[in-house]
Chains A and B, each alone.
Chain A
Amino acid sequence: MQHLDGNALAGALAEFLSFDVTTAIARCNGCGATDEFARAIVFTSPAGTVVRCPSCDHVLATLVESGDRAWLGFSGVSAIEVRRG
């Protein structure tokens, strides 16, 4: 499956989050690395989207959409740094 990167998450996550996700910095639970979401590796399929750490491949986040609902998971992220303003 051809992967993308976290730039591709900007539109999908702007539906739910009030900050720009591409410049938000996530800390990976797997290896402790911190990186902008734009640098993450993103796999999309009809079943949903999986976001992986660019350093250790740990699953950072998942997004599943169905009809009028979405399920957002951040199981692999211990913190997200968001710039105010």
Chain B
Amino acid sequence: MIGRPSVPRSGWHPATVVANTPETTSAARLELEVEGWPGNAAGQHLDVRLTAPDGYTATRSYSIASSGPATGDVTRVVLAVDRVPDGEVSPFLVDVARAGDRVEVHGPLGAFFVWQPAAASAAAAGSGESDAAGGPVPSAPRPVQLIAGGSGVVPFVAMAQAHADADDATPFRLLYSVRTPADVFFAPEFERLVSASAPFRLDLVYTREAPAGWPMAPARITREALAEAVLPASDAPLVYVCGSTGFVERVASWLIELGHDARAIRTERFGGT
């Protein structure tokens, strides 16, 4: 079911950094091998805990860029972490963490900001269920509109990959607001997803610097640009919005003004700017 998918139970797990590679000028892609990871649904997050030699701990939440069931005792989890200046955890993960470093992770967390392919959703729902708004589950899967600001795209690469892996026929669109071409997360993955057989469309909005020849001058997204780039309310899409608190609240209020059902909009704010 769409509203409350069945997701693995969370817990604390020891994890080892397997790889740390630059993702953008300010972010790194981290592959972790997590002992006893139970698998996760696309869109879930985890908490990373670092412990200093004196016992001081710092914990932060990160969206998971990968998804899938557990595959044995040790499972690979992919994160993409943006460096928060003066942060307690992200500068370590982006600039310091190397293969072999150990951290602790708590997860998978959150069943709200999750998308699962129709087969998995139906299996989780059984029959005669109702959705989050209390209505009957639609017989056809609802089209999905994803809207990301900056590093808010991380859960969406997991959702789009799950959609492609299942060869799911649900129409999927991603509107991705990003500062410059160098700030695009998962650029090669999205290029592949666009040409995969599952229907997926990517619309990029550059806010500070656009590639040469780009038809639009760089600018923050407006209500009008949003209206043009997202599935119309008449298609009754499920809409997921992830980004800074300001971005998410601006976009969510415009979606309501454009006639989208508030119950069909799922938001995840990560604070910041």
Contact = CB atoms under 8 A, between A and B. Distances in A.
Nearest to A3: B245
A8 to B, nearest CB: 6
A39 interface: yes
Given A5-B267, A5-B269, A85-B6, A10 B109 contact: yes
Interface stretch (B31-39, B110-118, B204-212): B110-118
A38 B109 CA distance: 12
Interface string B249-273: 0000000000000000011111110
Question: How many residues of A sit at the interface, in one of the four size bands?
Answer: 10 to 19
Given A4-B245, A7-B45, A83-B4, A20 B269 contact: no
Given A10-B45, A22-B112, A4 B269 contact: yes
B118 to A, nearest CB: 19
Contact of A11 (B59, B112, B266): B59
Given A11-B107, A14-B106, A83-B4, A3 B271 contact: yes
A11 B61 contact: yes
A2 interface: yes
A22 B106 contact: no
A62 B191 CA distance: 44
A61 to B, nearest CB: 16
A85 B4 CA distance: 10
A44 B6 CA distance: 28
Contacts of A20: 7, 10, 109-112
Interface in B148-165: none
Interface residues of B, number: 26
B241 to A, nearest CB: 11
19 contacts: A2-B272, A3-B245, A3-B269, A4-B245, A5-B269, A7-B61, A7-B268, A10-B10, A10-B45, A10-B61, A11-B46, A11-B59, A11-B106, A11-B107, A11-B109, A20-B10, A22-B109, A23-B112, A36-B132
B131 interface: no
Interface in A1-57: 2-8, 10-11, 14, 20, 22-23, 36, 38-39
Nearest to B3: A23
A26 B271 CA distance: 23
Nearest to A42: B269
Contact of A14 (B109, B112, B271): B109
A74 B7 CA distance: 25
B10 A14 contact: yes
A2 B248 CA distance: 13
A7 B113 contact: yes
B168 interface: no
A4 B270 contact: yes
Interface string B6-29: 110010000000000000000000
A38 B44 CA distance: 12
